[in-house]
Structure 1
Amino acid sequence: MKVQLVGTITLPIVVGAYPQQVGRNVNFLVVDCSSSYNAIIGRLTLNSWKVVTSTYHLPVKFPTEHRIGQVQGDQLAARECYLAMLAMDEQVQTMNIEEKRMMAEPIEVLEDISLDEKNPERSTRVGADFEERIKKDLICFLRKSIDVFSLSHEDMPGIDPSVITHRLNVYPSSKSVRQKKMIFAPERDNVIKEEVQKLTAAKFIREVYYLD
């Protein structure tokens, strides 16, 4: 479904009850379409407020200068909005399987090429519709530049933190809490163990022991 953008508008939004509240000017995109919602607040705004949501209980909590603020949703109103969305024109709200399949098709045919004759699994893809001369030059260039490809965890040891660093989005003043051990289905548990072993062998992560 394509919706034509009418324009944009900036509105001041205040969330919570005084003094546990936050606010900012939010840019909204204005569209002309049927919806049971007056406005939808995007992830950028929610992330800027550091909100934590519960889709089951419908509360929204966020840190403020005066402890934690909270906004409680109305389950009856949420249910009515949900049913209203389902009752809209089926052609607008849904997509049949055939349309979804066609959208997922690649825009061009790709051809697998090997970058290393000794290790056939080290490969990439190029467009199959390239002219033969251009394709040959491109494959030659890629094979000469194989040292810049990272095809496995072992190809990326010792990455400088100035290049990339993963950080947890945790509020600095929050107290650490030990969570209960999560139980996964056997097939998922095996996949998780394999990925952890790969990251550990590549020295991307390491096991840390805590006293409590």
Structure 2
Amino acid sequence: MTGSVPKMLRIDNPFIGFSKEDAWRLHHSHDDVLVVTIQAEDYNMHRVLVDNGNSVDILYYPAFQHMGIDRERLVPTNAPLVGFGGTRVFPLGVVTLAVTIGDYPQQITKNVAFLVVDCSSAYNTIIGRPTLNSWKVVTSTYHLMIKFPTDYGVGELRGDQVAALECYVAMMEMDDHLQAMSIEERRAATEPVERLEDVSLDDSQPEQTTKIGTLADPTARQGLATFLKENRDVFTWSHKDMPGIDPSVLVHRLNVSPSFPPVRQKKRVFTQEKDRVVVEEVCKLQEVGFIREVYYPDWLVNVMMVKKSNEKLRMCVDFTNLNKACPTDSYPSRRSTSWWTLRPNTSC
């Protein structure tokens, strides 16, 4: 006896809408980007940015290499990509991949022409307007999901809020790096308007110096140097010189509702490389007095290791669940309530 696959009823022009239930799985308030997972060829591709403002579909070269795609599939192109700053990037070529989104039977599979770009990014690929329009996609950044019509109803693809936050941290590191490079290039291209001279702020510590211009008359320069020496306490030479604000003046605390009991997370196991970085970062924070060791904690949250653009690891703490335990803030801030980053020069 052989079974037969039941025929599914085709639905023409299904209604697409969003409801409150679509946002229940998210942490609010948020301003995260829409990061999804798609199936490209035989790969489940994570960290895919859905960008309505992008006029092209982009596949970054590291992802292209990881997929093992033959370079002979690249079709040459001479059209450069132009960013907001006017910078031009020339793609390595165009590759066409079969992309599938959604769950069967509410799914679609279509060929997408990606521009392969060899530059740093926290994302593997970017889906822009050409593909979104061809899929007839409706996006909702509030619900962090997209919906699209299929022959058998409305398909949907949900965003990954944790991946969006990780990409945000990584892109911030890259932005800092690119900004520094841009500043260095400008300095190399322009001549300084005046020569600078070193001024020692403390005779007992000659390494503590600053610079002032030489175009002013000697009397003004001497007065400025005297003023800087008298106020040298505003300068910092190491992390130990930043003790923070006296608690009698200002104290930052988490407004956690008493109805939420403390939670001790299960200890996370890291690789030897990540363990070494965690120990180094914790020791730095302990030495300067930014953190202290606590015995028998009522609550415990694991650190998260995020890889920066220079391949080094950065230690972060994911406090996303605090959004559930803290009453709504009238002035929400992602960096203060959802995703805290521990740096040697940051006091939490």
Q: TM-score of the superposition, structure 1-length normalised? A: 0.42
Larger Cα-atom Rg: 2
Tell me which of the two structures has the higher relative contact order, counting C-alpha pairs closer than 8 angstroms and 6 or more residues apart: 2
Q: TM-score of the superposition, structure 2-length normalised? A: 0.26
